[in-house]
Structure 1
Amino acid sequence: MIGYKIFLTWFKMTLWMLSLSCVAQVAQPARVTFVLNAPGAPPYSYLNSQTNEYQGVVVDFFAALERSLQLEVVYLDSSRARSEKFLHEGKADIMLSSTAWLVTPEKLIYSAPLLKHQSYLYGLKPLPEAFSLDTAPRLTICTRRSYFYPILQPYFAQRKLMRADSSSQSTMVNMLVKNRCDLAIMNEYNALAIFNEAQFCKTTFYQSVEPISSVNLNFILRPELTDIQVLINQHLVKFIRSGELEQSMQRHAKKINLAKRNACLNFTEMEDKAELTQLTK
């Protein structure tokens, strides 16, 4: 009888220890490195100057996965030119990008779309109503150095358009203001943020009616991470259907409209965004 009690106690202790081990294994999140273009840009991911931490739609998306102990995300500063290389070299695991911008998209895997990324042409004066890249005169376009623009690349290659590279969106706009280029191509959110800077507040900018480029943004992953790809796709469905994506966009996009608003007295709002006179108005 005593031997049976000892065996029963030992058996219960063994089961308890095994259960603790299983819980520890389940609770152990997968650690992944997310590489981004420092210092980032709203609303996707950008550096909070007060906390020195990243925030934005990307951070909001991964926050729930971190709370549920499914992922632990480390953010790594890089540049758009190096981010894809970091994935190939195993220095990073995930980035947010478009497959259209990748050098070797066939060597990586990607999630379902998170957002639409739209770029417009911006200038200091309206363009003709019938403006078309196919019939436009030989214009100089301000661009970001090392950025690949699929829609403009054929025109650059044929020298129908000239490319003027800059190190940042701010220097792009500065070149535009100084008439060193005829137009600048930018993401709509980057443009609104730059135009809200005090140095550009007295300048009127014109935005094209239609985007010059519209592509899907996906989470791009190393090909070995198929399990993380499945996890991200599952969470994407919930993130979008629950309205969390829309709420996150509204929360972080608003920061663009309010930035230095008092300094931008000529900067009015249109459809809850900063108003830009349309290029073909």
Structure 2
Amino acid sequence: MRVVLFFVMAVWLHPVSSQTLQIMGSDEGFMPFYYGSELKEGILVEVINDFTMETGISADFLPMARKRQAWALERGLANAVFANPLWMPLPDRMHAVGPLLTWRDRVFAQPGLKTDSFDDLEGGICLRRWFVYSDRLEERIGSRLVRHDAYNTQQMLQMFLRNRCDYIVMNEMEFRFLAQLGSIDPDRYRTELIDAEWPVYLGILKTETALIEAAEAFFTTYKIDVEAMLPGLPRPGL
């Protein structure tokens, strides 16, 4: 009886720091938020490192193809993901902490082009193959815009910087990060046109109540300044 009672008390008093936050990330990476071998570098990685230091809760990033993320949650391979609630795997089973930052896809243009509105866009545009863009942009492709597809953002940016297209649509911070690596002034190409914008949350399985409580408490006061963190990020192995 004493052994059973001791076991029950040990489970009840089990410290939250012994649990692990297992965060899925796209196996392709998402610079500058997470990238590199086993997704060990990036803004969100540094944020979670701060979370670990503050709470004592260990955390790992797990590369996982998007179409397998729900499967990974169901199999217990992961218990968290950074995402917008609209595209979060198993949304009914996830608790969203945040928003933590804003994802913003901006239109960048060759210098001198008129970009007061989407109606001004005319010429060639570099985009990612199989990537979904806004309806207002898609409806101009084929009529006023000629689409040039790239397999990833690095190739897309290279095409743009080599003047193979007039415009490019990229995550704003990713463009700024890659531009600084090449000593390029990103503001030279920046426009005020936003193609998509949404908040990013840390989704945690609702069954992980201790992790949820720790994350909610931590992010109540912790603020992510993405642009300020860019210069200190390690160079990716492109």
Q: TM-score with structure 2 length normalisation?
A: 0.70
Q: Does 1:115 align with 2:101?
A: yes
Deviations for 1:195-251, whole angstroms, at most 9, x for unmatched residues? Answer: 2233x7499842103533321112345xxx22348844762454243xx324x6465
* Corresponding residue number in structure 1 for 2:197: 214
Q: What are the equivalent positions in structure 2 for 1:126-145 lying under 5 Å apart?
A: 126-128=112-114, 131-133=116-118, 135-136=119-120, 138-145=122-129
* Corresponding residue number in structure 1 for 2:24: 34
* Corresponding residue number in structure 1 for 2:165: 181
CA distance in 1, matches of 2:101, 2:114: 31
Write the letter of the residue equivalent to 1:170.
Answer: Q
Deviations for 1:24-48, whole angstroms, at most 9, x for unmatched residues? Answer: 4766415534223544422x2243x
Q: Does 1:226 align with 2:206?
A: yes
Deviations for 1:92-138, whole angstroms, at most 9, x for unmatched residues? Answer: 443223345x3988677451421111222112223326x322x2354
* Corresponding residue number in structure 2 for 1:87: 69
Q: CA deviation at 1:254?
A: 3.0
Identity %: 16
Write the letter of the residue equivalent to 2:60.
Answer: V
Assess, with a 3 A threshold, how the Cα gap between structure 1 residues 27 and 183 changes in structure 2: closer, same or farther.
Answer: closer
* Corresponding residue number in structure 2 for 1:253: 230
Assess, with a 3 A threshold, how the Cα gap between structure 1 residues 18 and 207 changes in structure 2: closer, same or farther.
Answer: closer
CA distance in 1, matches of 2:50, 2:186: 39
CA distance in 1, matches of 2:85, 2:142: 24
Q: Does 1:60 align with 2:47?
A: yes
When the two structures are aligned, how many residues end up with a matched partner?
230
For structure 2, the residue ranges without an aligned partner over 5 or more in a row are none
Q: Are the counterparts in 2 of residues 141 and 164 from structure 1 also a CA contact under 8 Å?
A: yes
Larger radius of gyration: 1
Corresponding residue SS for 1:180? coil
Q: Does 1:45 align with 2:34?
A: yes
CA distance in 1, matches of 2:199, 2:186: 31
Corresponding residue SS for 2:133? coil
Assess, with a 3 A threshold, how the Cα gap between structure 1 residues 161 and 233 changes in structure 2: closer, same or farther.
Answer: farther
Deviations for 1:57-96, whole angstroms, at most 9, x for unmatched residues? Answer: 3542465358645x54332224xxx32x122222644322
CA distance in 2, matches of 1:86, 1:56: 24
Q: Does 1:77 align with 2:51?
A: no
For structure 1, the residue ranges without an aligned partner over 5 or more in a row are 1-9, 260-281
CA distance in 2, matches of 1:76, 1:219: 14
Corresponding residue SS for 2:68? helix
Corresponding residue SS for 2:113? coil
Assess, with a 3 A threshold, how the Cα gap between structure 1 residues 215 and 138 changes in structure 2: closer, same or farther.
Answer: same
* Corresponding residue number in structure 1 for 2:219: 239
Q: Does 1:172 align with 2:156?
A: yes
Q: RMSD of the TM alignment (CA)? A: 4.2
Equivalent in 152, 163, 166 of residue 147 of structure 2: 163
174-183 vs 31-40, greater mean Cα deviation:
31-40
Assess, with a 3 A threshold, how the Cα gap between structure 1 residues 93 and 27 changes in structure 2: closer, same or farther.
Answer: closer
